[in-house]
Chains A and B, each alone.
Chain A
Amino acid sequence: MSGHEAVAGEAPDKPRGPGAPGSAGMSLVCGDVSFSYEEARAPIPALRDVSFELRAGGSLALMGASGSGKSTLLQVIRGLDAPERGAVRLDGADPADAGYAALQREVGLVFQAPELQLFAATARDDVAFGPRRLGWPEAQVTAAVDAALDVVGLPPARFAERHPYALSGGEQRRLALAGVLAMRPRLLLLDEPFVSLDPGTRRHLVDILERLKAAGVTLLLATHDVDLAWALCDELLVLGEGRVVAAGPWDFSTAGGRLLAANRLREPFIVELWRRLGCDPQHAPRTAAQAAEALS
């Protein structure tokens, strides 16, 4: 991981450095992916013919109602479940190709409420779990752990030896994220990372994800927060009952607006504001800070 240069004058627990986990991001192509859950009476189709593309270094917001298949899709992409039909291609490689398993290990998946998985006696040990499982030499593990802790704003000097359960809720969430980042994923999948976060940690997390994006990591973010999706992601993928109902760049034309409404998604606040101020909603800024600048 490229170094963590100390930035003079910054508050000690803000994320530092670009924290780039590895080289350029991974590209992702899903082709007709279908998956069903085995249930006692009849299999429940969770994903039906899901197809979309995400270029290396891109950012995609995965949206849809509860039960629409978002979590399932993320887990299939990571390889925890194999699709019944169709395929997940990572960097152009098919599941049958030789290097596929290695590519899967470069896909990071952060579950909902990931702090529920913390188990080790120290923060360092917990974050080291993933890298150790990858079989890295201990020196490399230590370097990865330190870098990951820095990226999430938990400097090793202060936090590495702390007990995970002694941390606050927001710190635990960031620690769990560090556990995934330490494995240097080139494609990062996040399942509702902002739920139940206090406002401060939420802002912090947006910061962290923006830096990862800037470092070239491909981002796939499942969220129900349309404003955060707008702030972080170039493109949108909407699922409805396991099927793709919309895919591609954000579209705020009349047709696009109708599609959003049909899926119970409102326009991002800033987009609506731009529209009501008489400006082109398609070119609305992404964040409040950017909007404030534009309005000044």
Chain B
Amino acid sequence: MKATIAQYYAGDSLLHRLDPRAKFVAVSALAVALFVRDSFAGLTVYAAAAVLAYALSGVPFAWFWRAFRPLLWLVALTFAAQVVFAPGAPFFSLWFIHVSWRGLELATYLSLRLVVLVLVGSILTLTTPSIALTDGVAWLGRPLRRLRVPTDELALMVTIALRFIPTLFVELDTIMRAQRARGADFRRGGLRERTRSLVPVLVPLFVLSFRRADELALAMEARCYRPGALRTRLHPLCAHWSDVVLLVATAAVIAAGLLV
């Protein structure tokens, strides 16, 4: 089992070198702009910008496809649901499915939005190491510290959680195999039986994780970690004029999409 969550492609493209904060703001702004207006022309502008961004990222198509493909199902499902349940006079009916032009139109908008959203989101995670992204978001969330929200600690938690995901997958696999060697069968039976059969797998995994949390906390304190204390970074975030260009370009694209 290979985890492809936040899969980073190590490269040296223009996009790789941009500050994660600027990238995050750009993606977030674009995500919002996508849903403002129902316009095919506008969405096409955004789609074109996203494709251009992908071209600039230098990420091989195979990598991108691996992250993208599973989500196509979601898009297809959303399209179908929209078509079936949208209002409007149907021009075609089969059983309880009524297809109207309006429905097709709405479905197309939604699907296109989702595709662009996923495309842009994937480019973000493919060109930004998760630790940099987490640092960037934590920096952007600084104002929340005034509301006693522990943004830096949350960012560290996310980083640590991400670090242990592959390890947990391996441990999960091992525990499942060990229980299978004792006769457990995770594929047999209905929902209830299958859920019960997960107990011998989930309990050890939880216990292991709690023990890990204890030991890890100790090891971190032994290396002088203190929640709330000021921490520097080996790779500090550093904005350049190229990041300003990105933000300006994104604003221009958003404007174009809204005005077209």
Check whether chain A touches chain B (CB < 8 angstroms).
yes
Q: Are B177 and A134 in contact (CB under 8 A)?
A: no
Cα(A80)–Cα(B182), bound, Å:
11
Q: How many residues of B contact A (CB 8 A)?
A: 20
Q: Are A111 and B177 in contact (CB under 8 A)?
A: yes
**Docked complex: A64-90 residues within 8 A CB-CB of B:** 75, 78, 80
Q: Are B207 and A111 in contact (CB under 8 A)?
A: no
Cα(A119)–Cα(B179), bound, Å:
10
Cα(A108)–Cα(B180), bound, Å:
11
B200 contacts partner chain A, Cβ-Cβ < 8 Å = yes
* A interface footprint on B165-179 (CB within 8 Å = 1, 0 otherwise): 000000100110111
Partner of A80, one of B177, B199, B200, B204: B177
B224 contacts partner chain A, Cβ-Cβ < 8 Å = no
A221 contacts partner chain B, Cβ-Cβ < 8 Å = no
User: In the complex, how many residue pairs between chain A and chain B have their CB atoms under 8 Å apart?
Assistant: 54
Cα(A33)–Cα(B91), bound, Å:
62
- Contact of A117 with B183 at beta-carbon distance under 8 Å, contacts A40-B2, A129-B200, A165-B207 already known: no
A242 contacts partner chain B, Cβ-Cβ < 8 Å = no
A116 contacts partner chain B, Cβ-Cβ < 8 Å = yes
B191 contacts partner chain A, Cβ-Cβ < 8 Å = no
**Docked complex: B176-190 residues within 8 A CB-CB of A:** 177-185
A114 contacts partner chain B, Cβ-Cβ < 8 Å = yes
Q: Are B181 and A109 in contact (CB under 8 A)?
A: yes
Q: Report which A residues bind B (CB closer than 8 A).
A: 40, 75, 78, 80, 105, 108-109, 111, 114, 116-120, 129-130, 133-134, 165, 179-180, 183
Ordered nearest first, which 10 A-B pairs have the shortest CB separation?
A133-B183, A119-B203, A130-B182, A109-B181, A111-B178, A117-B178, A119-B200, A119-B204, A80-B177, A117-B204
Provide 19 A-B residue pairs closer than 8 Å at the C-beta atoms, listed in order of the A residue: A75-B177, A75-B181, A78-B181, A80-B177, A80-B180, A80-B181, A105-B183, A111-B181, A116-B171, A116-B175, A116-B204, A117-B200, A119-B201, A129-B200, A133-B182, A133-B185, A134-B183, A180-B181, A180-B182
